[in-house]
Amino acid sequence: MKITSVKSYRKDLALKRPYTIARETISAVENIFFEVTLANGMKGIGAANPDVNVVGESPSQTFQNLQSDFIQQLVGKDIRQFQLHIYNSRNHFEKFPGTQAAIDIALHDAFGQWIGMSVVDFYGRHHQKLQTSVTIGIKNVEETLKDAQEYKESGFHVLKVKTGLDCEVDAERIIKLREKFGEYFTIRVDANEGYGPEQLKIFLHRSKHTDIELIEQPFLPGREEELLQFPKETRRILAADESLKNARAALKLSQQQAFGIFNVKLMKCGGIMGALEIANIAKASDIQLFWGCNDESMVSITAALHVAFACPHTRYLDLDGSFDLTGDIVEKGFTLEDGYLSPGNGPGLGLSFL
């Protein structure tokens, strides 16, 4: 089955609730979409929203790349060789994981539709449903508790609390969450590179009785060796995020043993194939998988869900990136019930265009 056309376009997706992280405040996001149409009329869809601060690629650069002559060379290619097309695209756009991801996701979706099988079942489904966390940005205690109450009323049981500006205040927020909600919530923390060794020690000491499940990327990339001063029990709950961009980084981090968890994001590693490379390294190194995202369309969130459920050592989901969007271009990619996510059974990614 031949690819007959490709096209890309951009769309600004506003957030229902702006939020603050250690680097910035975010209120709207630009997503880039990529469509692949087959000779039988089936249409595969991909999407990207790379974080320029993490991978050095902006959505504008993604869009520009997807307008290139190289992309037009996909027309006439056989979708049965989709993995070869992804491989060639990754080589051509080596420094642009967002571009890679948009192409990878669209080709996976088109191929799955053509064979009549979901992407997760093509690779092998190991999970039926998993809880996802929902994110609370950097806020004061009162606002943090207010957001948590709203999430409780919506049926969620896992919170990811953004931290990284003030370790003392950060710890106080976690303590107050525990005091108000008891054991109702599983609590995760994302420092977004905002701590140094002393700040992390203070935070860990102050919050030691709050039963934090994991802590994402406390230090800037390049400072992983400094984490080795912390006991193995602490490092076991640390998750590499900004330090983990691709399989090469995964291999190095697995050897350093600074992190016990890998946060895999399709926008960092270039899509499903790149994610599977990282997952294989993690499995061999007894490192657990944590699947994250940026503020993304349901298109790429669904793609991340499919690959996450195809990995037996997936333990954590943080795939809430489409929940707070005021609009999207697709629906029906997954089901959400009482905080549990599950990909659908439809062919490809199982998405429907709005």
The domain that holds 23 is classified in CATH as 3.30.390.10
pLDDT at 16: 81
197 with 96, same domain: the answer is: no
* Nearest of 30, 61, 48 to residue 105 by alpha carbon: 48
Among 67, 89, 117, which residue terminates a domain?
117
167 with 197, same domain: the answer is: yes
171 with 298, same domain: the answer is: yes
171 with 315, same domain: the answer is: yes
pLDDT at 19: 61
What percentage of the chain has pLDDT greater than the value 90?
94
**How many Å apart are CA 209 and CA 32, to the nearest integer?**
43
pLDDT at 20: 65
**How many Å apart are CA 286 and CA 265, to the nearest integer?**
19
141 with 249, same domain: the answer is: yes
pLDDT at 183: 97
pLDDT at 29: 85
107 with 139, same domain: the answer is: no
Cut 0.85: pTM above it = yes
112 with 132, same domain: the answer is: no
Among 65, 96, 117, which residue terminates a domain?
117
Q: 26 falls in which pLDDT band (50, 70, 90)?
A: low
The domain that holds 186 is classified in CATH as 3.20.20.120
Mean pLDDT of 333-344: 96
Tens digit of pLDDT for each residue in 42-99?
999 999 999 999 999 999 999 999 999 999 999 999 999 999 999 999 999 999 999 9
In the chain, the number of structural domains is: 2
Q: 25 falls in which pLDDT band (50, 70, 90)?
A: low
99 with 244, same domain: the answer is: no
300 with 198, same domain: the answer is: yes
Helical residues (DSSP H) of the chain, grouped into ranges? 52-55, 59-66, 69-72, 82-92, 97-115, 119-123, 141-153, 167-181, 197-206, 232-235, 247-256, 266-269, 272-284, 298-309
**How many Å apart are CA 309 and CA 2, to the nearest integer?**
29
* Alpha-carbon distances of 74 from 81, 82, 175, 193, rounded to whole Å: 11, 10, 53, 39
How many C-beta atoms lie closer than 10 Å to residue 154's C-beta?
12
Among 83, 117, 151, which residue terminates a domain?
117
233 token code pair? 């029990």
* Alpha-carbon distances of 207 from 90, 171, 178, 203, 351, rounded to whole Å: 42, 5, 10, 6, 41
334 with 232, same domain: the answer is: yes
Q: Which domain holds residue 72?
A: 3-117
Mean pLDDT of 278-288: 98
Q: 10 falls in which pLDDT band (50, 70, 90)?
A: very high
Tens digit of pLDDT for each residue in 188-226?
999 999 999 999 999 999 999 999 999 999 999 999 999
Mean pLDDT of 256-281: 98
225 with 86, same domain: the answer is: no
Q: 350 falls in which pLDDT band (50, 70, 90)?
A: very high
pLDDT at 24: 62
125 with 79, same domain: the answer is: no
Residue 39 scores a pLDDT above 90: yes
